[in-house]
Structure formats: structure tokens, C-alpha cells
Amino acid sequence: MVLTRRDFLKKTCSVSTKAALAIQLTPLAFASQADPNLRRVLTGSKFGTFEAELNGNTIKEITVDNIHSKMIYHAYKTINNPSRIKTPMVRKGYLSGDNSDRGSNEFVPISWEKAIDILFKEIENAQSQHGPSSIFPLSLWGMFGQFGNCGTAMQRAINLHGKTMSSTGFYSFAAAESILPEIVGDIEVTSEQTTLNYVAEHTELLILWGCDPIKNLKIGFSVPDFSPYKYWQQIKQKIDQGKIEVISIDPVTTDTQNYLNAKNIAIKPHTDTALMLGLCYELLEQETYNKRFIEDYTDGHEEFFSYLLGEKDGVKKTAEWASAICGLPVTTIKSLAKKFTTKRTLLSSGWSAQRAEHGEHYCWSLVALASMIGEIGLPGGGFSFGYNANDAGAATSNGSRLGVMSATVKDASPKYDKPYTSTPYFPTSRMVDVINNPGKVVPFKGKDITYPDLKVFVVAGANPLSTHQDVNQLKQALNKLDFIATIDCQWTATCRFSDLVLPTTTVWERDELIPYGNATNRGVIGMKKLVEPMYESKDDYEIWRLFAAKFDRENSLLKGKPKFSG
């Protein structure tokens, strides 16, 4: 047989193409090729990407190609489940002016027209009678997508009506984001982290301080790409080879402890600062701290050392003092301090330990301890506050990031432009204090702020009755408000405590654009709508379009773009 050059190229192309498809396409893709009635769509979620097999308006099956994405098998079921909000609802007592039955789950279905009328009436009354300091719109973790983002859609429409209150700080890391810029000049918690390959190569002692990345990296603000897991696998290999020692300081056993076979030092919850001070005292007393680093790169160490030695309060922060507070043996504390000065040490902190009263002290003490160890800036040494979330630890792309719809409309005039009667913002976690103490002046980040007199609370993509630090206090405080509205797709605790509940679509019931890779910024996913909106739900953009139409600002809201087409 004579094989010509042309025949050779044709046959090799055919073979290579089939091989490439076999690598790139899942079995689901081949099934959709064989059955023309099936449609295969790649989409995303806060738990990663997945492929959905569609038959009409039904998701028949999903395929996940990553072992870290298992939560998707449950997440997409939010499209249709018993907790789905099916129609606009109003609290029964609201209709008669009674707030005593908030939380009783007695709701009455109403039309969308009636629902938007109620929403507009309450915001209109508050703005006209009390001004912008009376209205507080809130969005947090539920914000997803660049166009249908519930937070910016709500703020964009409400800003056209008038100014409102805002809050600062996430429940996840409010103490850290407040104090760390003052200590190290950066927020740290959501900043780019040193890539984990440096940890695998240079770190000799890895301290996981309330840090569980193996579990927490499975979710992100946007669509996670799970790229840090390959580095954690490299770290595990180094641990197995005896090249890295890993210790977890945590009250509970974590997924990361189990994965890395880490030694667990089970500290009493929220006594971390005492342990750190005891460790710092031990380094000072034994004169094993890095004197040159302290003198060259820190400020205020004289006052800190004086505090450790008890020169002002008469209490030395010894290992014995720390042991009585945190519940660890004195020998464990002293042994840990000795390890810090004999190995390249990285203190990797999560966010849980700073979620406490005076949580700033935890962050400050960890940086102080890392400074006394003196390896900040060296490969594999120092401290971190961000390896536990949002693909942190993998390399970041230098490409431009996908923008989000603006919450303000250029050259548009709001219906109201009244002055604030308070500071225009307050810390998110102080919501109870704000409601209970209107007009109170309190210190915040080095200056005084004045609390507003809130009347109306509008929630979209948040669930404060789940995330707030004291839910019972929040319930009592919320009952003092005139009106609470929640926009969501599921019956959350906050929905059940609201006066008005509006059903929005899930992200899979609309066309959307979403970044792929949180810290890594690897690309963009065009999310085609998987199914038509269920029941009477509307996307956030449409809900707020209806609201804006009530005061002739619909055209300003839309700017000639009535609907996003994916």
C-alpha cells in the first residue's frame, strides 16, 4: 500500500481530533451529540463549574468533573425545592398594621403589582418623611453575577429614588479588615497571597491557626477553579517525606488536619490571643526572638514588650498565665515557642478566631508573634490571613477583571436629594446597636460616627438572621423597624421575619456573566439560562425596573438596555 502525504495528513488529523474530543468532552457531551433532543450547557456556581443536561425546561442530569465540587449536586436543586418562594407574599399582620406576628410564618400571597406598590410606598414614605438616614439596603454573600447582581441592581434603583444608608465590613472578617491596614498597610484577608509553591518548597513548620483551606476552598465569592488544591497536594507530599511539620491550633478537628495528618493543639475557643502573648513572652524571656527584625522593621515594640512583662498592669504574660486561660499545658506552649525559632515558620490564619469581641487583638497579636519570629518576607515564612478562601495561594492572572453593573447612574437626578441626619454608614455587625440607639455617637476607626434612625430595611442576597452574631438580639431590634422587605429565591430566616417577600430567580434562570477563578482571575463564563424562571419569580433587574417605573426613573435605570442577552 502506498500512503500519500495527503492521505497521511487526513488520517492523522482524524485520529488527533477524536483524541482531543475524548479529552475535552465528558460522556454527557457525547450523549447530547447522539440525542438531538438533549442540550448540554456549561455553567457555574459558587461551588465550581458543572455541565447540565437539559430536556426542555428540565434539568435531567448534571456532570461535575472536579472532586472538590460535590456540593453542586445539592446547590442546583435550589431551582425547585420545598423552600422555593413561589409568589410575592406579604405578612398577614402587616395588612392590619400589626408587627407583633413577625416571624410567625403567616403570609398572604399577593400580585406583583401589589407587591411593588407596597415596596415603593414604604421607601417613599421613609425618604420623604425621614430622609436617607432612615433606609438601609443590605446585600452580602448572595451577590453573584456581573449583570443580574442583586446588590448592585437594588442599589442602582434605590439610588435613583434617593440616598440611603450603607454598611461597612463583612461578617466573615470585619475585625481583620479594620485593624490589619493599620498594622501592616493592607487588608490581607482578601489580598493576593504568596503562591503555595513557595510554602511547599521553603516552609519547615506550618501553623494552621483556625485555618481549614481543604474545606473552605470549595466555595468562593465567584466561581472557584480549585487550583490551590494541587499545591496542597505538594505540601502533603513534603509532609509525608518529613520535610514539613504541620500543627493545627484549633478547638475542633478539621478537614485540613485530617488531609495533612497534622498534629492538633486543641485550644479553648477564642483564647488564641492569650496563647500568642504567652508565646511572645517566652521568645522575649529566652531572648530567642529576632532582635534585628524587630528593630529594623517594626514600630512600638518597646511598649509591647513592656506589656508582656507586666510593667503597667502587674501581670506577666508568661506561659503559665497563658496556660490558665487557653487550657494548654505549659510545656506545650514552651515547646511551640522553641520550634518557632529553629524552623522556617509560617503562621497561616483563618478568619474564625477574629469573629469575637475585640477580635482585632487576635490579628494584632498574630502579626506581633510573626514579627518576633522575624521571618516575614522570607520565602515560606511570616504570616497569612487568606489561604482559606477564594482560590487563594494559586497564581493570579494579570489580565483585566470583569466589571459589574454600576450602582450609580451617571448624569441621572434622584427623586430626593435630602441631607443625612447621621454618618452615612455604620459597621455591618453593629446593626443591633444602631437600631437600639438612634443618634448615638460612637468611635469607629479613629473617628466618631453617628448612628442613624432606621425605619426601612431592604435585604437582597443576604440572611442576617443567620449570620448575625446574636440572632435573638437582632430579632428584638428588627421589631422596632417600620418595614422589612426581603428579595430571595428561598425561604430564609430573614424572609420569614419580613413584612414583604419577593421571589427572585436563581442564577440558573437568567443569562449571566461571571468571573472564573476568584483570586486567580482565569477567565469569564457566559452562563446561558438553564431553565425558564420557576413559578412567579422575576430576576432582580426586572424587580427593580418595576420599582423605578413607579417614579419615572425606568429609562435612567435601563440606559437603553432593557434586558441582558447572553
pLDDT of residue 562: 58
Looking at the predicted structure, is the pLDDT value of residue 5 above 50? no
The answer to whether the Cα torsion of 359, 232, 71, 400 is positive or negative is: positive
The H or E element spanning position 201 is: helix 196-202
pLDDT of residue 16: 34
| Mean pLDDT in residue range 348-365 | 94
Q: Which amino acid makes up residue 66?
A: N
Task: Between 396 and 457, name the one with better pLDDT.
Answer: 457
What is the DSSP-derived secondary structure letter of residue 420?
A: P
Percent of the chain with pLDDT strictly greater than 90: 71
pTM score: 0.88
d(CA 491, CA 216): 25
Vertex 247 angle, CA 241 and 253, to 5°: 110
pLDDT band, very low/low/confident/very high, at 58 (cuts 50, 70, 90): confident
What is the DSSP-derived secondary structure letter of residue 348?
A: E
φ, ψ for residue 176 (rounded to 5)?
-65, -45
Complete edge-to-edge strand list for the sheet that includes strand 39-45: 39-45, 48-55, 58-63
pLDDT of residue 34: 42
For 415-446, b/e burial (b = at least 16 CB within 10 A) is: eeeeebebbeebbbbbbbebbeebeeeeebee
pLDDT of residue 36: 54
Q: Which amino acid makes up residue 219?
A: I
pLDDT band, very low/low/confident/very high, at 563 (cuts 50, 70, 90): low
pLDDT of residue 20: 32
Could you tell me if 144 and 540 are in contact, meaning their C-beta atoms sit under 8 angstroms apart?
no
| Mean pLDDT in residue range 17-40 | 44
Within 4-130, strands assigned E span 39-45, 48-55, 58-63, 89-91, 107-109
Could you tell me if 121 and 499 are in contact, meaning their C-beta atoms sit under 8 angstroms apart?
no
pLDDT band, very low/low/confident/very high, at 85 (cuts 50, 70, 90): very high
Looking at the predicted structure, is the pLDDT value of residue 314 above 90? yes
For residue range 124-139, what is the model confidence (pLDDT) as tens digits? 999 999 999 999 999 9
Looking at the predicted structure, is the pLDDT value of residue 35 above 70? no
Looking at the predicted structure, is the pLDDT value of residue 380 above 90? yes
Domains in the chain: ranges and CATH: 38-79 (no CATH), 89-170+405-523+537-558 (3.40.50.740), 174-384 (3.40.228.10)
d(CA 390, CA 173): 14
